[in-house]
Chain A
């Protein structure tokens, strides 16, 4: 009898399970938020589970207005035959208006409700309504949410032209002292055309397309206030602690270009001098030549050193642009104060001066030494 009572305890004292059959629930992949007067217009993108041979769109978008996000989400069930399930949400799209009004105002319920996973991407839509973006059907990835997510993730991983921010990262940075999160931006090409019909995916060049912009949104107190341009974005990614990859191209003589893949490791050091803090970034960059159109032989060390110098100059230019932006911006996107705070200094609004030390080394020149043009010239 004792055993049975103990076993009963096991079952009664739990509350972390929630029964639901797969075919009875609608998997929410994206949520978009627009602003209409004083209400939010929440659009929910849901997967249509259909067998391969069935025709039709594989997503459905429901919209609902509400004063709060949760109110709108709950009222969406009026329109959906299945229970909404947010455990696999991939992205939250905010229109520019909402972001400028305050990102932090709309994401409370996503953090609060345990059903919704808090690892989705937060994205700002540069043009138009989030509602229209969610409707767009995409090729090559069946699920539009995955399409956007993968585009941003791959772009941030291999090109450093954007930075993918997840909800939990956003919130942890927002709550920290002296650092503000950044947010990636996307846009819709051919905004005026309707991308919600199957015609959009039955062609090899879809009319309505979603693409990432080489920009980053800067926030202050959870509001979108400014942007980093392309160069500053590259600089921002270089200054982030950790490993990054980017592609760079520059002139190697008067007319021709060289293109390199750079990967870097960034460290920083902090010094205090005369009531001033010095943050010194040390960047160790190694490069691989991917394209080379000049005449000179790359096996020649002198030529390589010359290219390395040029790369260093270009990167320093990027870094300086980013650092200047930081000096002039209200948003603490580089988190300099946070870096100092983490090193156990008692920071009291002293002036911060950022210095960089870039070391460039071209490790790999690819499978040929000379450019094709140069090789031909040597033969003659």
Chain B
């Protein structure tokens, strides 16, 4: 290795090269390093003790990480990950001087909790691992680190419990991670899509920002993957029920939460079924409605220029646009948008006679029902099926609902989340537990389909 070659090749303005004398150079990147650390603990001793050989350097510089560099690939990797590299007589050595480039540990914003811990994962890779370590202080916790991305060189780490997690599954995931060939990893969902290439609509990995959920999943025998620069941590494998539960369930009275869960299941069914059922009943199977209800509906539909299907589709589209704009809109415009959304679109379209009030109720019920699920992937996949139901019920009525529910059930039962069944019917107790939350003192077994080590105590 030669310092002249390095000096010739590095032209970026943020790469700083400090020449102490002809033999000693200090190379670091200002933007990702902590310059005060470099000043105090690297530059100061070098100048003070007039260091010009490796032995003096080793004796006088105090740093937790010291890495000797023998090739350019390693050199660049360390340089770009915040190391300060010292070159003495064409010998290179790196010291860790990373600066903190994140906002610190903040409150989880997307997955809200009433009673649970409120901290959330950050963009900082080390802090994220620390948040897990803080919760599971076991020697069995394995953190396997690897790098992904040709240009981004992103650190990712696979975390699991050695004694709980299925070994074959760990091997398989590790192999898959090693095979990933990509230039740039923007966020953790890149990894999840590269791991599971089956074109499933329902999510098979859960991306969460809550460390308590991640640690809970580790203890169940799942693997979590932390990706550098991503505040979302991947949990895999996940099943249908994992996207419906919330971690908050476990922090509250189990009997009350059972009711909440039942309500959540009802909401799941409502969110898919309500628009299509309304459409099927009013346009095909009117005889199933009671007379007074039928007259009520027909009164509301009087004078509406669109067919029911177009009306439902239109209103649904408007709602989706509203929802999407609500997530993208800067905070200051929030109120003006709610006025436009609620008053102009809702009230005015009814009084203008474009859309029947009952259709607004129907679409709102279905929309509100989806808000119960914190996982956005799940909400979006429900939306897909909602549309399928709507489409088929507009063609053949109730019969279409039967066909589409068959499609949904067959798809769900046929689906695999990695090697496991997406909906597991083998163990009835597990199935029962997914609906009814038992008391904490009864929590003595793990789900048997994930691990062989099912005993908790």
Contact = CB atoms under 8 A, between A and B. Distances in A.
Interface in A1-49: 10-11, 14, 16-23, 25, 27, 29, 47, 49
Nearest to B299: A49
A301 interface: no
A88 interface: yes
Contacts, number: 69
A18 to B, nearest CB: 6
A51 B291 contact: no
Contacts of B81: none
Contact of A88 (B282, B294, B299): B294
B283 A22 contact: yes
B281 to A, nearest CB: 10
Interface string B300-328: 01111001100000000000000000000
B283 A21 contact: yes
Contacts of A117: 287
Given A11-B396, A17-B396, A87-B286, A22 B291 contact: no
B47 interface: no
B295 A143 contact: yes
A90 B294 contact: no
B48 to A, nearest CB: 77
Interface residues of A, number: 25
Nearest to A52: B299
A17 B286 CA distance: 11
Q: Most chain-B Cβ atoms within 10 A of its Cβ — which of A16, A22, A87, A146?
A: A22
Contact of B299 (A18, A25, A51): A51
A85 interface: yes
A9 to B, nearest CB: 11
Interface residues of B, number: 25
Contact of B286 (A16, A50, A88, A90): A88
Given A10-B403, A20-B283, A20-B286, A88 B291 contact: yes
B291 A85 contact: no
Nearest to B282: A22
B198 interface: no
B297 interface: yes
Interface string B75-94: 00000000000000000000
Interface in A79-125: 85, 87-88, 90, 117
Contact of A21 (B292, B308, B398, B399): B308
A47 B395 CA distance: 27
B298 interface: yes
Nearest to A85: B286
Given A10-B403, A22-B294, A146-B291, A49 B302 contact: yes
B397 interface: yes
Residues of A contacting B: mostly: loop
B283 A29 contact: no
Interface string A42-82: 00000101110000000000000000000000000000000
A203 B403 CA distance: 53
B250 interface: no
A17 B302 contact: no
Contact of B396 (A14, A25, A90): A14
A84 to B, nearest CB: 13
B396 A23 contact: no
B299 A14 contact: no
A18 B282 CA distance: 11
B287 A49 contact: no
B399 A22 contact: no
Contacts of B125: none
A10 B308 CA distance: 24
A378 to B, nearest CB: 52
Contact of A27 (B284, B294, B302, B403): B294
B299 A50 contact: yes
A10 B410 CA distance: 16
B278 to A, nearest CB: 11
A22 B396 contact: no
B298 A11 contact: no
B284 A19 contact: yes
A146 B294 CA distance: 13
Interface in B35-55: none
Contact of A22 (B297, B397, B398, B403): B297
B307 A21 contact: yes
Nearest to A7: B403
Q: Most chain-B Cβ atoms within 10 A of its Cβ — which of A14, A17, A47, A87?
A: A17
A68 to B, nearest CB: 24
Contacts of B297: 22
A16 B283 contact: no
Contacts of A47: 295, 298
Contacts of B295: 27, 47, 49, 143
Nearest to B303: A23
Interface in B218-244: none
B242 to A, nearest CB: 29
Contact of B291 (A19, A50, A90): A90
A88 to B, nearest CB: 5
A90 B303 CA distance: 26
Contacts of A50: 299, 302
Interface in A131-155: 143, 146
Contacts of A146: 291-292
26 contacts: A10-B403, A11-B395, A16-B399, A17-B284, A17-B396, A17-B397, A20-B286, A21-B282, A22-B286, A22-B297, A22-B308, A23-B298, A23-B301, A27-B294, A27-B295, A27-B298, A49-B298, A49-B299, A49-B301, A51-B302, A85-B286, A88-B286, A88-B291, A88-B294, A90-B291, A143-B295
Query: Closest 7 A-B residue pairs measured CB to CB?
Result: A87-B287, A22-B298, A49-B298, A23-B301, A49-B299, A17-B397, A22-B301
Given A11-B395, A27-B291, 6 more contacts: A10-B403, A21-B282, A27-B295, A47-B295, A146-B291, A146-B292
